[in-house]
Amino acid sequence: MTYYLIYQENELRLIPIRTEQEEDFCQRFAQRILASGTSPLEALQVFDALPLVFCDGL
């Protein structure tokens, strides 16, 4: 299981993701960033000083 640190609804959340669901989670997360009109780089700047597990392709 992998834990992703996600900024959602004005708070940081630690989300546990099973290995077999990881690729789907990463794709949905990337699609939500792109749909919001925020670039992936801008979105990740929120986590500048925090440890973060990156999804492949972001």
Asked if residue 53 has pLDDT above 50, the reply is yes
Asked if residue 8 has pLDDT above 50, the reply is yes
Spans of all domains in the chain: 2-47
Helix (H) or strand (E) holding 6: strand 2-8
Using one digit for the tens of pLDDT, what is the confidence trace for 19-50? 888 888 878 877 877 787 777 677 666 555 44
- Give 25: exposed, middle or buried? Use CB within 10 Å, 0-12, 13-18, 19+: middle
**CA–CA separation, 4 vs 56, rounded Å?**
12
Asked if residue 12 has pLDDT above 80, the reply is no
What pLDDT is recorded for position 57? 44
**CA–CA separation, 49 vs 23, rounded Å?**
25
What pLDDT is recorded for position 26? 78
